[in-house]
Amino acid sequence: METRSGERVLVIDESRDVRRDAGAQLGALGLSVLAEERCGDLEPLLRVFRPDIAIVDIDHDDPRQVVRALRIVDPVAVILITENDFDHRARAFNAGADDVIVKPFAVDELVARACAVLERTGHGRKLLQLGDLVIDEGAHTAQRGDHPLELTATEFSLLITLCEHAGAVLSKRQLLSKVWGFELYHVNVVEVHVCALRRKLEACGPRLIHTVRGVGYVLRVPRGAAVPASATA
């Protein structure tokens, strides 16, 4: 099975063996795992850990309430563990689970299902790479070469947009619409943020963001650098 790029997995199961074995196998694949014995008050945990997928043994809990509680912060993918009974499985799926696994089960199967759900639901981390610039959208991090970039939320969104349209010139109005979601801001706001972003990028290497006079901005990889590529881990 392929090594993954650090997606976060929340495992809630009363069985110490399940928590230990699932955590070990998921961790070996490169996923970050938090294992808990019971659901309890999920909101504070979810706000800090922000899992990409939650694997929960619902036992006697109401599956609908569990799924609702898990998605109170982010649209996390959910696998519910339940009894091998049609009514229990149906209730779990009707509650909105992305997958259901019945007891008893092999941890290998649980791990395989978790990876499949991450792929199917698109919760895997999206990595963008252009030359020496690498962006992890899921982790909200960017670095150029060996240098982490300290970007504001707006600068990060602007960089993502320019990377996704690398080689294409985007007008200031287009950037307003894609980054700010509203075209009626003054275009000066784009100029200010592009200037700040460009300064941070150029502190670590040659120019990436170019101005096309009278048109807008374009992100280009310097000659001799790696060919732009994007991948979903």
Q: Is residue 79 part of a domain?
A: yes
Contact 137, 160 (CB under 8 A): yes
Q: Is residue 3 part of a domain?
A: no
**Rounded mean pLDDT of 173-192?**
83
**What's 24's domain CATH number?**
3.40.50.2300
Same domain? 150 vs 185? yes
Q: State which of 83, 104, 121 marks the end of a domain.
A: 121
Does residue 1 have a pLDDT over 90?
no
Does residue 226 have a pLDDT over 50?
no
Task: List, for residues 97-116, the tens digit of each pLDDT value.
Answer: 999 999 999 999 999 999 88
Same domain? 50 vs 139? no
Pairing of strands 133-136, 126-130: antiparallel
Does residue 124 have a pLDDT over 70?
no
Contact 171, 215 (CB under 8 A): yes
**Rounded mean pLDDT of 78-86?**
92
Task: List, for residues 160-176, the tens digit of each pLDDT value.
Answer: 999 989 999 999 999 98
List all residues 6 or more positions away from 94 whose beta carbon is below 8 Å from its beta carbon: 63, 64
3-state secondary structure of 161: helix
Looking at residue 88, its amino acid is: H
Total domain count, the chain: 2
Contact 96, 26 (CB under 8 A): no
* Residue 221: DSSP 8-state: P
* Residue 170: DSSP 8-state: B
Residue position matching structure tokens 């970039």: 149
Does residue 54 have a pLDDT over 90?
yes
**Rounded mean pLDDT of 146-151?**
93
Q: State which of 106, 121, 136 marks the end of a domain.
A: 121
Same domain? 113 vs 14? yes
Output the average pLDDT for the chain: 86
CA 166 to centroid of chain Cα atoms: 21
pLDDT band with cut points at 50, 70 and 90 for residue 6: low
**What's 151's domain CATH number?**
1.10.10.10
pLDDT band with cut points at 50, 70 and 90 for residue 193: very high
Q: State which of 121, 147, 168 marks the end of a domain.
A: 121
